[in-house]
């Protein structure tokens, strides 16, 4: 599975941890590349665009709280970004909402929890069925 991952300065260390420890995915790192202050929209938009263009199967977007990351990613057509703070949210975001971008808040969850969230999100399939009907309704709002 090919995953695009990006962060601002607040999420840089967590991004590096995820890339280094999650072996079930191939990562495309779109930056940032340091803890020097930067603007999260510059990097999260790269995550969303990469998923939108089909160059990655899914994306992970990280900022301090995850709020800005989810706001930016969800501005892009066909992106369903889910801000998750625990494993259950990660599982349900895929199982019921088929989220294609996972947003994380580096300043509100620890590394160990973040790694468990990412693993759960990556391993969970979309259920389809009645949930697809709901996603079709959601997609109709984009038109």
Among the listed residues 63, 77, 84, 131, the single catalytic one is: 63
- Cβ(38)–Cβ(48) under 8 Å? no
Specify whether 63 is catalytic: yes
Q: Which three-class secondary structure state does DSSP give residue 105?
A: strand
DSSP codes, 73-140: HTTSTT--EEE-SSHHHHHHHHHTT--SEEEEETTTS-HHHHHHHHHHHHHPPP--THHHHHHHHHHH
Give the residue numbers marked as catalytic: 63, 96
């Amino acid at each position: 599975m090919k995953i695009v991952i990006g962060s601002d300065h607040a999420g840089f260390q967590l991004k590096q941890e995820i890339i280094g420890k999650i072996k079930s995915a191939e990562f495309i790192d779109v930056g940032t590349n340091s803890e020097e202050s930067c603007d999260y929209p510059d990097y999260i938009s790269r995550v969303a665009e990469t998923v939108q263009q089909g160059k990655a199967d899914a994306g992970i977007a990280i900022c301090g709280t995850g709020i800005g990351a989810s706001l930016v990613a969800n501005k892009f057509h066909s992106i369903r970004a889910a801000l998750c703070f625990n494993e259950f949210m990660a599982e349900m975001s895929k199982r019921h909402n088929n989220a294609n971008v996972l947003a994380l808040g580096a300043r509100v969850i620890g590394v160990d929890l973040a790694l468990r969230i990412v693993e759960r999100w990556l391993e969970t399939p979309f259920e389809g069925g009645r949930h697809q009907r709901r996603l079709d309704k959601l997609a109709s709002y984009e038109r």
